[in-house]
Amino acid sequence: METRHLRYFVAVAEERHFGRAAARLHMAQPPLSQQIKQLEEQLGTPLLTRTTRRVDLTPAGEMFLGRARTLLAELEQLAQDVRTVGHGASGVLRVGFTGTATYRLMPGIVEAAHRDMPGLQLNVQGEMLTPEMEEALVEGRLDVAVLRPPVRSTSVELVFLEHDRLSVALPENHRLAAHDELDLTDLAGEPFICYPATSAVNLIVQESCRRAGFIPRMVQVARETSTLLTFVDAGLGIALMPTAARLPSSQRIVFRPLRNAPTVDLALAWKAGNDAPLVHNFLKLCTPWANPEGNNQ
């Protein structure tokens, strides 16, 4: 199987028509049909069902399309990274940031990297969840991540950056906005906007509410912090989230501290055994943000 087979298949699958796919690829239709047939023979299963009017995907073709798109995107990113280094950059580092860290820590870290590691090309992905960053580190798709523990894999090393506390985000006209400080029990019965179930923050919120004697009434799930705050702004509910400094917000949202607020950790993570000088230098650059008392490697 060659890269061209992936490109040809994706074009046919997206166009659902051999003629349109051939025009998109700037090639004749008969060779395209032959290449797709060759691919199916190599895989030992049909990927497409053909009629005189259109082309449809088989179940195997549906699965293959998703994987093919991912592989082509990774190959394009690889080519871009190589070109970047070839044009004079000292290297390319892929860094992921969890929700609130995207707004609070990422600007400072990126600024420090630009100042102290000239020539470094940072490929930054923000608003990621811990499980997907952990998987990306293990599989080598990320070099470093700023995430919220815990992580399950023993292949990931951590150094703790900070211990944060949860606060409450409320619409400004909410009845609880008049209080300077709140208890978790004040939130029983309120509609909650939450991060996805796999989020470290969501797990802490669920457990904290359970200990306070209630189960949060979840009305909306938001993957990104910016989206979560948009739902709060729209009055759909309240949200528990880490300290609100430097978060995207509006004047229609207020933040209130919690008495005896649960803590959420933030850590710098990398794949164990990754001794690449670029990674080592980046971790060293992030030392000012680290909490030496919370280190856990």
Rounded Cα distance, 106 and 112, in Å: 10
Percent of the chain residues topping a pLDDT of 90: 43
Residue entry with tokens 């209630």:
214
Rounded Cα distance, 280 and 288, in Å: 15
What's the CATH code of the domain at 26?
Answer: 1.10.10.10
Both 77 and 106 in one domain: the answer is no
Both 161 and 272 in one domain: the answer is yes
Both 99 and 206 in one domain: the answer is yes
> DSSP letters along 4-35, please?
HHHHHHHHHHHHTSHHHHHHHHTS-HHHHHHH
Under a CB-based contact definition with an 8 Å cutoff, are residues 208 and 262 in contact? yes
Rounded Cα distance, 197 and 91, in Å: 36
pTM of the predicted model as reported, rounded to 2 decimal places: 0.63
Both 71 and 182 in one domain: the answer is no
Rounded Cα distance, 213 and 184, in Å: 9
* Residue 297 pLDDT > 60: no
- Take residue 224 and report the two structure tokens written for it: 């990104």
Structurally, the chain folds into a number of domains equal to 2
Both 137 and 23 in one domain: the answer is no
Q: Classify burial at 104, counting beta carbons within 10 Å of its beta carbon; exposed 0-12, middle 13-18, buried 19 or more.
A: buried
Rounded Cα distance, 227 and 54, in Å: 38
Alpha helix segments (H runs only) across 98-153: 101-104, 106-116, 130-139
Under a CB-based contact definition with an 8 Å cutoff, are residues 137 and 269 in contact? yes
What mean pLDDT is reported for the chain? 87
Rounded Cα distance, 259 and 180, in Å: 10
Q: Which of 17-31, 177-191, 220-234 has the highest mean pLDDT?
A: 177-191
Lowest average pLDDT, out of 2-6, 244-248, 283-287, goes to: 244-248
Rounded Cα distance, 50 and 17, in Å: 9
pLDDT in tens, 199-255: 889 999 999 999 999 999 999 999 888 889 999 999 999 999 887 555 666 678 999
Give me the domain span that covers residue 250: 91-297
Both 281 and 180 in one domain: the answer is yes
More confident call, 54 vs 20: 20
What's the CATH code of the domain at 171?
Answer: 3.40.190.290
SS3 155: coil
Mean pLDDT on 179-199: 94
pLDDT in tens, 48-96: 988 777 888 889 988 999 888 888 888 887 887 677 665 544 678 999 9
pLDDT in tens, 121-159: 888 988 898 999 999 999 999 999 999 998 999 999 999
What pLDDT is stored for residue 84 in this prediction? 61
What pLDDT is stored for residue 259 in this prediction? 92
- Parallel/antiparallel/unpaired status of strands 55-57 and 48-50: antiparallel
Mean pLDDT on 182-201: 94
